[in-house]
């Protein structure tokens, strides 16, 4: 009897121990989940604090190889301790004086400052003559002057009163014939809003656009879309016909969109591309079904497109003749956000060291102004071995990080998109990242901070068209105001596609 009770007690203890073991395992698992959740929240908090109060620079200074203090001799390595990858020869040269700024593009007014009358007479009694001038150039500014142009068209008739002989001078053609504004004023409004970043209510309030309400100015900008659309279409055709392009996007709030709340965000896409010497920068607004929109916009395109790994581009990449060049700066940013939150140097720092080597090579190609063929050869010789080593390192350590951690997501992003991230090695025309297009998004974003939103879909489309013409004109070294005045004066006389092609930024001759 005693043995039976002891056996039952042992069984109960074993069952209790198993239950406690299961409970401990569950608590450990729960604790690990809480720890991971805490780490994610801590990462998000630090990321938010950094975005709000910290530096926005993404520059990576390697803690193991920081910049030495040039003014502290004891920190400098001895010559024999310096390591060099390759011997570099610097030719002897003389320091040249800084060249003066070219002021020939500005109107020039010559102001003669005379000598005092008492100094014009020599001690011998002879009158002195001017032998030279001491010259100094001063930059000057004259405030904008608004005026009224009163057009008087002559009406002629026979003095004898002959019937049917009254003739009126033809009215000059205008891009918007029914409004009371010249092309110069229209150009001023457009460039002020989108290039100088002055919202229309500023132009109205401070009298920068004479006695015109902001509503009227907005209607003028929208009305200009139709006559200017052929130029935009020609630029888009030029982009589609080339085999290298890029795309990026930013948000835009449009208040009056059918079936959508005023607080709903829409998107503005920035597209870059075009044949050599005929590059374009175009913007396009879209409010929904972004995958289909991007796919339709690139209809007929074949070749390489720089982008980030966004779901918006999924349909586009189903085309076997379209190849995604993913942005390494985007991938690098994942590791850059993690590195400062690590208690000690780790995998994020090591990933950034790989990127630092790659970008140093890209800087060399840029500084030496290499042609695409030369850049391809440089990448094959230097960048490709680094990328192979980088991939081997990613495969080795990618499985050792928690998948849901910030570092795990960084590894997952780069491994999932490795083919697109390494494709820049295969063509010297391709960029290592999409930074050039991101830089063209920035002017729109800065302007948007001032005008904040578009009231209507027509207004959003007008913003994109005008921004496209302004940024493409600047890309080709043209003053956007002068370009707008020229094209708006000539468009009413355009009859054929060739007439419009003559107004493209790389073809037009400004007066």
Q: What is the 3-state secondary structure (H, E, C) of 440-507?
A: HHHHHHHHHHHHCCEEEHHHHHHHHHHHHHHHHHHHCCCCHHHHHHHHHHHHHHCCCHHHHHCCCCCC
DSSP state of 100: P
Residue 416 lies in a domain: yes
- Domain limits for position 397: 328-433
Residue 167: pLDDT band (50, 70, 90) is confident
Q: Is residue 376 part of a domain?
A: yes
pLDDT at 366 over 50: yes
Taking the C-alpha atoms of residue 341 and residue 334, their distance in angstroms, rounded to an integer, is: 12
- Per residue, what are the HEC states of 247-264? EEEEEEEEEECCCCCCCC
Q: Report if residue 207 sits inside a domain.
A: no
| Model pLDDT, residue 48 | 72
Give domain status of residue 336, yes or no. Answer: yes
Determine the pLDDT at residue 207.
64
Q: Total structural domains in the chain?
A: 1
Is 120 a member of any domain? no
pLDDT for 75: 42
Judge whether 335 and 351 are in contact, CB under 8 Å.
yes
How high is the pLDDT of residue 59?
Answer: 62
Does residue 270 form part of some domain?
no
CB 256 within 8 A of CB 289: no
Q: Which residue has the higher pLDDT, 336 or 161?
A: 336
Mean pLDDT of 381-394: 96
75 within domain boundaries: no
| pLDDT classification of 91: cutoffs 50, 70, 90 | low
Looking at residue 478, its pLDDT comes to 95
The answer, yes or no, to whether residue 407 has pLDDT greater than 80, is: yes
- With respect to residue 403, please indicate whether it lies within any of the assigned structural domains: yes
Q: Per-residue pLDDT averaged across 121-127, rounded?
A: 85
| Antiparallel, parallel or unpaired: β 244-256 and 454-456 | parallel
Tell me the three state secondary structure of residue 81. helix
């Amino acid at each position: 009897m005693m043995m039976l009770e002891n056996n039952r007690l042992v069984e109960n203890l074993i069952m209790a121990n198993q239950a406690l073991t299961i409970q401990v395992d569950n608590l450990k698992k729960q604790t690990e989940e809480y720890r991971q959740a805490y780490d994610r929240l801590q990462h998000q908090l630090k990321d938010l604090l950094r975005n709000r109060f910290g530096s926005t620079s993404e520059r990576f200074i390697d803690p193991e190889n920081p910049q030495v203090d040039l003014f502290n001799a004891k920190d400098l390595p001895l010559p024999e301790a310096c390591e060099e990858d390759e011997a570099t020869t610097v030719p002897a040269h003389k320091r040249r004086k800084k060249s003066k700024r070219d002021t020939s593009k500005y109107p020039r007014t010559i102001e003669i400052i005379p000598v005092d009358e008492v100094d014009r007479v020599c001690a011998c009694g002879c009158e002195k003559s001017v032998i030279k001038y001491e010259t100094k150039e001063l930059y000057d500014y004259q405030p904008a002057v608004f005026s009224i142009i009163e057009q008087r068209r002559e009406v002629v008739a026979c003095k004898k009163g002959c019937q049917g002989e009254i003739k009126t001078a033809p009215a000059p053609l205008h891009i918007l014939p029914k409004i009371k504004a010249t092309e110069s004023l229209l150009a001023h409004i457009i460039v002020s809003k989108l290039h100088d970043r002055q919202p229309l209510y500023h132009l109205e309030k401070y009298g920068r656009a004479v006695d015109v309400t902001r509503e009227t100015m907005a209607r003028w900008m929208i009305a200009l879309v139709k006559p200017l659309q052929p130029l935009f279409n020609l630029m888009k055709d030029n982009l589609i016909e080339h085999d290298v392009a890029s795309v990026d996007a930013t948000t835009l709030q449009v208040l009056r969109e059918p079936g959508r709340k005023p607080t709903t965000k829409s998107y503005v896409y920035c597209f870059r591309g075009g044949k050599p010497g005929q590059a374009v920068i175009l913007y396009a607004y879209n409010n929904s079904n972004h995958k289909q929109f991007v796919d339709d916009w690139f209809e007929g395109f074949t070749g390489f497109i720089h982008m980030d790994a966004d779901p918006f581009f999924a349909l586009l990449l189903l085309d076997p003749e379209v190849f995604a060049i993913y942005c390494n700066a985007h991938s690098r940013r994942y590791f850059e956000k993690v590195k400062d939150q690590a208690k000690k140097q780790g995998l994020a720092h090591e990933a950034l060291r790989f990127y630092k080597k790659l970008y140093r090579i890209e800087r060399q190609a840029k500084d030496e102004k290499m042609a695409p063929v030369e850049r391809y050869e440089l990448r094959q010789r230097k960048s490709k071995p680094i990328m192979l080593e980088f991939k081997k390192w990613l495969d080795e350590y990618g499985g050792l990080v928690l998948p849901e951690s910030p570092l795990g997501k960084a590894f997952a992003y780069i491994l999932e998109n490795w083919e697109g991230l390494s494709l820049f090695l295969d063509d010297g025309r391709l960029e290592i990242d999409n930074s050039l297009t991101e830089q063209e998004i920035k002017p729109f974003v800065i302007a948007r901070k001032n005008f904040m939103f578009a009231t209507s879909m027509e207004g959003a489309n007008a913003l994109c068209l005008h921004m496209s013409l302004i940024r493409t004109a600047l890309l080709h070294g043209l003053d956007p105001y002068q370009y707008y005045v020229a094209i708006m004066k000539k468009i009413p006389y355009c009859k054929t596609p060739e007439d419009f092609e003559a107004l493209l930024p790389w073809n037009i001759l400004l007066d």
